[in-house]
Amino acid sequence: MMKCVHCLQELAKKTKDHVFPSSWYPDSTPTSVQRWTVPSCPCCNGTYGALEKELFIRLAICVDPTKAEASGISKKALRSLGIGVKNAACEESVHREALRKRIMAETQPLAQAGDLPLLPGVGPHPGFKVEEQRAIEIPYELMHSVCGKVLRGCEYKMGKKRYIEEPYRLEIYFAHDDDVKDVTATCESIPAFTLGPGFEVRRAQTPPNEPYAAFYRVMIWGTIKIYATVGTDEDLAPPLT
């Protein structure tokens, strides 16, 4: 019996969940690129779909729009906020304006952000004065939930339709390259699987003789790096710092 990748409940009605959300693919993605999908229950699919939209807007407005790996991403976010949209229906315009006001209310001048930790991969944009830039806080639980959803899908696809079940568990880490130079060097030696220019997945078994323990690095838009481990308490290494 097929189960939902996320809640592990048997599926009476199956829906397909995109591992990497459809709206997250950059404009530079070839039509031939395989867009991974995994089995999901309607409840999890709907829940994570809403979370993906919330996270996308916050991440997309922080990414360098000149990167080929992120082509069109910032424009998608701006359109969802009603910026650059013409002839939208009245109800849709009201919805986008309300969303824009809510998102803008969450931002603050970069100079006033203080000691807020920067998400690895993003930061101040070069060529612009600090006083011209704004910062937005990305809720940890939102980021962690969506990244967990992505990694469970990756393990299903790359682990031969494997579900992450007890005694195995998934751990997600966010680390700056300068803080984990050894890990970064190791990742570069692992073959990369790419889904167009926007997404890169590297997976290795850890240790090599334990087929169900794995280490991941996922890169989104050539910018955001997500590290993850799958294993038992004995397999899992100390968290990246």
Tally of CA atoms within 13 A in the half-sphere of 57 that contains its CB? 23
Alpha helices in 106-163 (DSSP H): 140-158
User: Which residues, in sequence order, are CB contacts of 240 under 8 Å at separation 6+?
Assistant: 173, 175, 179, 180, 183, 227
Beta bridge partners of 193: 201
- Strand 169-173 to strand 37-40: parallel, antiparallel, or no bridges (unpaired)? unpaired
pTM: 0.91
Print pLDDT tens along the chain (241 aa).
799 999 999 998 878 999 999 999 999 999 999 999 999 999 999 999 999 999 999 999 999 989 999 999 999 999 999 998 887 788 888 999 999 999 999 999 988 887 778 898 888 888 888 888 999 999 999 999 999 999 999 999 999 999 999 999 999 999 998 899 999 999 999 999 999 999 999 999 887 677 789 999 999 999 999 999 999 877 665 555 4
What is the C-alpha separation between 2 and 41, in angstroms, rounded? 10
Q: What are phi and psi of 128, to 5 degrees?
A: -120, 145
What is the C-alpha separation between 208 and 205, in angstroms, rounded? 5
Spell 72-106 as b/e; 16+ CB within 10 A means b: bbbebbbebbbeeeeeeeeeeeeebeebbeebeee
Sign of CA dihedral 178, 184, 188, 189: positive
Among candidate residues 92, 64, 90, the one with its CA nearest the CA of residue 79: 92
Looking at residue 96, its amino acid is R
